[in-house]
Amino acid sequence: MSDPVYRSVEAAASVEALYRRALDNWPVAKRELFLPTRHGPAFAIASGPEEAPPVILLHGSMANSSAWMPDVALWSGKFRLYAIDLIGEPGFSARVRPPLDSDDHALWLDDIFEGLRLSRATLAGTSLGGWLALDYARRRPQAVRALALTCPAGIGRQKNLLLKVLPLLLLGSYGKRRIWEMVFGPAPAAPPAGTDPLTALMEAIGSSVKPRVLRIPQLTDAELRSLAMPLLAIVGGRDVLLDSRDTLRRLQRNVPHAEICFIEEGYHFLPGLAPRIMEFLERNA
């Protein structure tokens, strides 16, 4: 049976080695956990005081928990963080991709909560991780204290990026760089110090991992209206994957208590948001 995540055995080994190298630079003290779930082991990184309010971190697709490294130093001062590698993504959790239009991922998160001995927690999610947080909140509202979402899937219309990038795929390294900039924005002239391991990991993921090509389920208006917990949504006006203005409209109409931060010039990747999210967590987590 072919691997649903990696293009080859060698690709998997390369990405996992680079991931381990990146985790060696985790900015605060951490404990690594493997939690049993019905879909195989789930890898988690725990940081922060054990008695502090729990916050579960759910990264996006084509990523792993290293995506949270710029944020955990600030957040772990006041919260117990659990960064979870999503199943079916290039982390250390099981390489399985259950259908999104089912309760499989909610049941998987049930197992995560049980493994961490949590009855209630705040969920912070990015992109696909944002969808997972929303899906869990609408199915298990009693378990979710608050939602902190960055460019979440599952609310606004999903755009057809493939039509835009097909011509660029014929242009070699230039085309790949343009696709990268469309999603993440222009690369900085000088990358921040200490980011080399993360950069190498992301480049390896881009060439080694099979992207999910699927329609992510949208929450209905009724499901959005059922979200009574505090909710922060941060979206970028130049997001090429998701229609952020549709996200804005649907939240304003159906979740009037939501705090929405619309960054007009923001892309699907929105760096530097740790202080804004921290302020929300301090009030609601």
Between the alpha carbon of residue 220 and those of residues 135, 213, 229, the distances in Å are 11, 22, 17
Tell me the per-residue pLDDT of 213-244, one tens digit each, with 9 for 90 and over: 889 999 999 999 999 999 999 999 999 999 99
Lowest mean per-residue pLDDT among 19-23, 86-90, 171-175, 223-227:
171-175
Phi, psi for residue 281 in degrees, rounded to 5: -65, -40
| Total number of domains in the chain | 1
Is residue 79 pLDDT above 70, yes or no?
yes
Residue 32 lies in a domain: yes
Contacts of residue 155, defined as CB under 8 A and 6 or more positions apart, other chains included, come to 134, 218, 219, 224, 233, 246, 247, 250, 251
Tell me the per-residue pLDDT of 102-122, one tens digit each, with 9 for 90 and over: 999 999 999 999 999 999 999
Residue 234 lies in a domain: yes
Is residue 85 pLDDT above 60, yes or no?
yes
Between the alpha carbon of residue 279 and those of residues 47, 63, 152, the distances in Å are 19, 25, 19
Report the distance separating Cα 185 and Cα 181, nearest Å.
4
User: Coil, strand, or helix at residue 91?
Assistant: coil
CATH of the domain at 241: 3.40.50.1820
Q: Note the pLDDT of residue 188.
A: 66
Residue 36 lies in a domain: yes
Is residue 100 pLDDT above 70, yes or no?
yes
CA angle 219, 111, 129 (to 5 degrees): 40
Residue 13 lies in a domain: yes
Q: Note the pLDDT of residue 174.
A: 62
Q: Where does 24-78 have alpha helices with state H? A: 69-75
Question: What is the Cα gyration radius of the chain?
Answer: 18
User: Coil, strand, or helix at residue 244?
Assistant: helix
Q: Among candidates 105, 101, 72, which has minimal Cα distance to 89?
A: 105
Q: The whole model's pTM is what? A: 0.94
Q: Note the pLDDT of residue 230.
A: 98
Residue 4 lies in a domain: no
Q: Please count the other Cβ atoms lying within 10 Å of the Cβ belonging to residue 132.
A: 28
- Domain range for 80 is 9-284
Residue 1 lies in a domain: no
**Structure-token pair, residue 30:** 């951490």
Tell me the per-residue pLDDT of 11-70, one tens digit each, with 9 for 90 and over: 999 999 999 999 999 999 999 999 999 999 999 999 999 999 999 999 999 999 999 999
Q: Please count the other Cβ atoms lying within 10 Å of the Cβ belonging to residue 277.
A: 21
Residue 261 lies in a domain: yes
Report the side by side order of strands in the sheet with 259-263: 30-35, 42-47, 80-84, 54-58, 121-126, 144-150, 231-236, 259-263
Residue 3 lies in a domain: no
Report the distance separating Cα 272 and Cα 81, nearest Å.
18
